[in-house]
Chain A
């Protein structure tokens, strides 16, 4: 009996550390969590943006938590807790959810999806950090998707990590001029009732002119139009060498289909940044073949490949130029939180938010998925990019200027 007890005790003595090692989890500081809220479109026709952003957010935070979480000021470690809230691509909804998050104990938010939400949303934040006379929200927002240029300057609490479209299109049209010296004229089709598309059409036009092309004009349609014969008829008559389409996949695909029908074959087709996605391939099929789009994400680095693969296989999302920024933003936030003395206590939410804001403002450069991302004085990013081309129903890298 005594011998049996000794054997059992010996086995337990050997197994206990093994079991403990197998079931080890970081010793999370009691009540100390870092709460990060994703805000994006989870309903409506832009739901796919929110779905991909959420999948990438989950992936990035799971990885950090599995590696021990985030180190706080006192040396303890806190787990990241997230939520993902639907802003429906609607300004009132976006403002409402951010007000709610700010009234609770969320430290920082990543989002929103749509520029028409981001613009008024940044307007309710305190314009100048620390201005006692400004009762605007003191809540840091680090945008991943809303891409309309220049929005972060609205408030010192707003930060963005989105591609800088004027830089990308200026480079693209200059490159196109070099590669196609015979091409002289450009025409642009634009979805005129969508803020980003409209802004992008202006960017394309300016970039084309700067590169020495003659811009023959813009043809306009609306976001939910289904028939483009009139606009494409004008393309057909004008015979431009390059056609730029500043529209989201639904109308881009319709316009491309009509171009094929009417035999409109420009030397080059250029698309909207937001259309460099799987969505365009699913919707357009072969009609998108050859279209060139500058994009801030492509799986061209080992890290980019790993993140894209993990998100697709385990989180059922797609990493594209927008959702890739979510991964980068989480890494930057981890770095800022660890270096700026965030305490992560329920009583220090306001001061922690200020530390995150100040920390984000001090970031000058970080490692993105495609390489070094530079931060600008007005809290925007200058990101590496590539020119992607639709080939065989997939996006391939046509030119990598990094």
Chain B
């Protein structure tokens, strides 16, 4: 096999695995949109906030990595609840832009809190699988990213079970399809919304801890890329679709890596956003979403 072919496959492998970090973030965006039909631009910072809280727990207790992840899950769930209350519950319901802008404000607010707490200095995050590499013939596979991919699949299965096999899932689906009818049936809208934010926050916590571990560092610099890539992932996959978020994230990862290889860093993001543009024009509903009307 030629060097070019080897490299193209290696890039696809890297992109596929790194795309699972986009997928985890994309799941959060897509779930909230699926239930409330509103975008939560503070989701990326929720994930990062959870990871920073977990890092604090790690620094104080030297806890093993699974406990660090759990701390991230708990903290991000809590941040998710705060976001729901401050950016959605308290906002006027008949003015959708209010909630959107509130989440933008929350994104920069939490980011600046992190900057002030850390002086913007990157902090090393525990990375137990950080150096694990597997040889697949001529190709290398990063152990931590492979693990993240498996977690991504596990999260998808868990969310599917939750949505389709539990009372909370039933209530969530009811609220997402017919909020008024759901309320008339006795389903508490606020309670369901809060549960969705806590739940997606917890997924964000998993994402934050695994991304922190894969990067090896936490930095406020991560806030904006997580937000933008999460949003692009959700749009590519189809807003509201969890499998779509996963496929969208993996697709985004592969496209980015191949673009980087063939065109260089100066064009990588251009290719990514051209892809987004193409989707919005030709398939606005994304890969798995319902067909949107123009």
Contact = CB atoms under 8 A, between A and B. Distances in A.
Interface of B: 7, 10-11, 14, 18, 112, 115-116, 119-124, 130-131, 133, 140, 142, 211, 214-217, 219-222, 224-225, 257, 260-261, 264-266
A254 B215 contact: yes
A249 B122 contact: yes
A400 interface: no
A402 interface: no
The B contact surface, by secondary structure, is helix
Given A226-B215, A283-B122, 10 more contacts: A220-B264, A224-B222, A224-B224, A227-B215, A230-B260, A230-B261, A250-B122, A257-B216, A282-B121, A283-B217
A261 B131 CA distance: 5
Contact of B121 (A48, A222, A261): A48
Contacts of B216: 253-254, 257, 287
Interface stretch (A38-46, A178-186, A207-215, A362-370): A38-46
A346 B207 CA distance: 57
A278 B121 CA distance: 9
B119 A250 contact: no
Contacts of B140: 262
Contacts of A51: 119
A332 interface: no
A47 B222 contact: no
Interface of A: 43-48, 51, 192, 220-224, 226-227, 229-230, 233, 249-250, 253-254, 257, 260-262, 278-279, 282-285, 287
A223 B222 CA distance: 10
The A contact surface, by secondary structure, is helix
A250 B217 contact: yes
Contacts of A253: 122, 124, 216-217
Contact of B14 (A43, A229, A260): A229
Nearest to A287: B216
B132 to A, nearest CB: 9
Nearest to A45: B120
A51 B133 CA distance: 39
Nearest to A229: B14
A223 B130 contact: no
Contacts of A233: 7, 10
A230 B253 CA distance: 13
B215 to A, nearest CB: 4
B11 A45 contact: no
A253 B218 CA distance: 11
A90 B215 CA distance: 27
A294 to B, nearest CB: 22
A47 B18 contact: no
Q: Which 8 A-B pairs have the closest CB atoms?
A: A283-B122, A47-B120, A45-B120, A48-B119, A224-B221, A220-B265, A226-B215, A250-B122
